[in-house]
């Protein structure tokens, strides 16, 4: 469904991604791990069209998407939620989701009912008429997910959804992602919470210093000496 072939990205002289290749098949939940600065978010930004790779190719559903602007990629069925939750604070909760639905219909009434359905699905129905700026962090995150779902994605990239959540909220969110997956959504997830990732993902990719260093089942990747070293090295470097 998604295929990256030797994708590289550098900012000025700084290589952020080096010849990264992998595929994601329909129906998977793939985790992406790596220490800070490994290039995870940059990788997601390249895939969703916020930035272009310097070399390499990205294909989604059989067509090249590198170089397409984000709204075109989104229209093809590939959506992303942001690491720092990005909602439209000046709009109502419903209107936030409605903007996503406008990609599928230009009829405001239809878009509104798509939005309401997505809000209900994520347990935000009660907040539909609030201003988005009145929501707490967890609900903002749900709202961003709802808006992404309104664009009717086949593949959803989730960039650090769990950051800042307490254990109970993490569980609720994981359950939510699992449910979306069971309803046919393919997921790729960046996450620092390795425990959560292990419970959720069928396959994990590990990135370090812009290179893909390991790939496989969560258990295998978490035991991979290079992965262990990259995390320990990072921790040692931080200390």
Query: Site residues (CB under 8 A) for another protein?
Result: 48-50, 69-71, 74-75, 79-82, 86-92, 95, 98-100, 102-103, 106, 108, 111, 131, 133, 147-148, 150-151
Shortest separation between residue 98's beta carbon and another protein, angstroms:
6
Query: Which lies closer to another protein via its Cβ, residue 78 or residue 180?
Result: 78
Q: How far apart are CA 175 and CA 225, in angstroms?
A: 30
- Rounded-to-integer distance, Cα 171 and Cα 98, Å: 27
154 CB-contact burial (10 Å; exposed 0-12 / middle 13-18 / buried 19+): middle
CA distances from 99 to 7, 57, 147, 166 (A): 31, 30, 7, 29
Minimum CB–partner distance for residue 216 and another protein (Å): 30
Q: Give whichever of 33 and 79 is closer to another protein, judged by the CB atom.
A: 79
CB 85 to another protein: min, Å: 9
Considering the complex, state which of residue 41 and residue 230 has its C-beta at the smaller distance from another protein: 41
Residues 40, 32: contact at Cβ < 8 Å? yes
Interhelix angle 137-150/167-182, rounded to 10 degrees, is 10
Smallest distance from the beta carbon of 171 to another protein, in angstroms? Answer: 26
Name which of 27 and 69 has its Cβ closer to another protein.
69
By beta-carbon proximity to another protein, the closer residue of 49 and 218 is: 49
The sheet carrying 14-24 orders its strands as: 14-24, 2-11, 55-60, 63-64
- How far apart are CB 211 and another protein at their closest, in Å? 27
């Amino acid at each position: 469904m998604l295929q990256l072939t030797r994708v590289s990205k550098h900012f000025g002289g700084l290589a952020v991604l080096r010849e990264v290749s992998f595929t994601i098949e329909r129906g998977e939940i793939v985790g992406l791990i790596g220490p800070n600065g490994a290039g995870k978010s940059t990788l997601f930004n390249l895939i969703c069209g916020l930035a272009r790779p310097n070399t390499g190719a990205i294909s989604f559903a059989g067509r090249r998407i590198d170089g397409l602007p984000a709204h075109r990629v989104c229209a093809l069925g590939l959506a992303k939620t942001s690491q720092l939750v990005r909602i439209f604070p000046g709009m109502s909760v419903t209107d936030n989701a409605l903007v996503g639905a406008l990609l599928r219909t230009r009829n405001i009434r239809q878009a509104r009912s798509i939005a309401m359905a997505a809000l209900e699905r994520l347990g935000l129905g009660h907040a539909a008429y609030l201003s988005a700026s009145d929501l707490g962090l967890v609900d903002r995150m749900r709202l961003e997910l709802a808006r992404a779902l309104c664009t009717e994605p086949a593949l959803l990239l989730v960039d650090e959804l769990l950051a800042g959540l307490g254990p109970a909220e993490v569980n609720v969110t994981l359950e939510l992602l699992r449910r979306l997956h069971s309803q046919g959504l393919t997921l790729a997830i960046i996450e620092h919470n390795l425990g959560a990732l292990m419970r959720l993902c069928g396959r994990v990719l590990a990135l370090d210093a812009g290179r893909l260093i390991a790939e496989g089942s969560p258990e295998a990747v978490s035991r991979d000496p290079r992965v262990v070293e990259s995390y320990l090295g990072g921790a040692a470097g931080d200390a």
